[in-house]
Amino acid sequence: MDNQAKIIVKASWVGVLGNALLSLLKIFIGIISGSLAVIADGIDSASDIVTSLITLFTARIMMRPPNIRYPYGYMKADTIATKALAFVILFAGAQLAISTARNFLAGTERDLPGMLAIYVTIISIIGKLLLARHQLYKGKQTNSEMLKANARNMQNDVLISVSVLTGLVFTFLLDTPVLDSVTGFVVSIWILKVGFQIFMQTNLDLMDANTDPGLYNKVFRAVESVEGAANPHRVRIRKIGNYYMVALDIEVDGDISSRHAHEICVKVEEEVRRSIENVFDIMIHIEPTGFEHKEKVYGVSPEDLPDD
Ligand SMILES: [Zn+2]
């Protein structure tokens, strides 16, 4: 591992351990002080720990080179791990929503949560702010998107803790323990929302979606810039981890040699790689000028894109 990677891994572990400490503290204090909102906040932090751990461990799998069984490499391991995480978060959120709603609907007389609930929430806010600053600093130092994303995630957590704190303060001021259940329910809805977003996001990768139409234009322009290559169509772009697989059809003069046609393809490949970063592989299918597909074929052609 190079120095840069070492700093990233070390900073990730600082994030994991810091989060774990705060999460355990919140769940523990939430239970003994009887605050559902604080428990909910703790569960939300716990899901972040799982996220960071998954990132750290799948990073190793993703780096394995392609082989006979996995010719496209291991980079989608990340998508699979994140999909599993979405289910964990959805499950935790649903459990929490059910228990807080039940508590609220049953209208059971609850005691006011202890003051400890307020203290631990304040500690959590300060702790998360410090952690977020640390992750952002190391993220900028190493230019790691993962650490920067970690920092943003932690800033979101601070927002959750601030709303829990607000809920607790009103619970005490108005002497209405039921407000604590309401805050807990709101946080559980937030957790469900995050879980659902992650679920949908991973669907895009698993279903080979391309959410950036600008990439098609880059491919069309790359083909147009190569002499002898024309009519780019049936362009298909999909993602494997952070890399792109590109496949397309082009037309060349039907009477040139295969050697010449191959040279044109190599140039098209070079141009595509020049305009799109992180290309894993490019597949080009050649047709003689004027060739028409008899059957309906999928893929994107210039006329499929909306005018901009
Ligand atoms: Zn074609």
The closest of 203, 175, 184 to 40, measured between CA atoms, is: 184
pLDDT of residue 238: 92
Mean pLDDT is lowest, of 34-43, 102-111, 225-234, for: 102-111
Instruction: Summarize pLDDT for 204-241 with one digit per residue, the tens.
Output: 888 988 888 899 999 999 999 999 999 999 999 998 87
Compute, in angstroms, the gap from residue 205 CA to the centroid of ligand 1.
25
Ligand 1 centroid to Cα of residue 281, in Å, is 19
Q: Tell me, what's the pLDDT at 76?
A: 84
Q: What distance in angstroms lies between residue 306's CA and the mean position of ligand 1's atoms?
A: 21
What's the rounded Cα separation, in Å, for the pair 135 and 18? 11
Output the CA 232–ligand 1 centroid distance in Å: 8
C-alpha 72 to ligand 1 mean position (Å): 24
168 CB contacts (<8 Å, ≥6 apart)? 35, 37, 38, 113, 117, 118, 121, 180, 183
Q: How far, in Å, is the centroid of ligand 1 from the Cα of 261?
A: 15
Distance (Å) from CA 253 to ligand 1 centroid: 14
249 Cα–ligand 1 center, Å: 5
- The pLDDT, as a whole number, for residue 100 is 81
| C-alpha distance from residue 80 to each of 44, 65, 77, 282 (Å) | 21, 18, 5, 24
Residue 257 has pLDDT above 90, yes or no: yes
Q: What is the mean pLDDT of the chain?
A: 86
pLDDT, average across residues 2-24: 83
CA distance linking residue 13 with residue 8, whole number of Å? 9
Rg (alpha carbons) of the chain, rounded to whole number: 26
From 1, 2, 5, 17, select the one nearest 143 (Cα to Cα).
Answer: 5
Q: What is the amino acid identity at position 165?
A: L
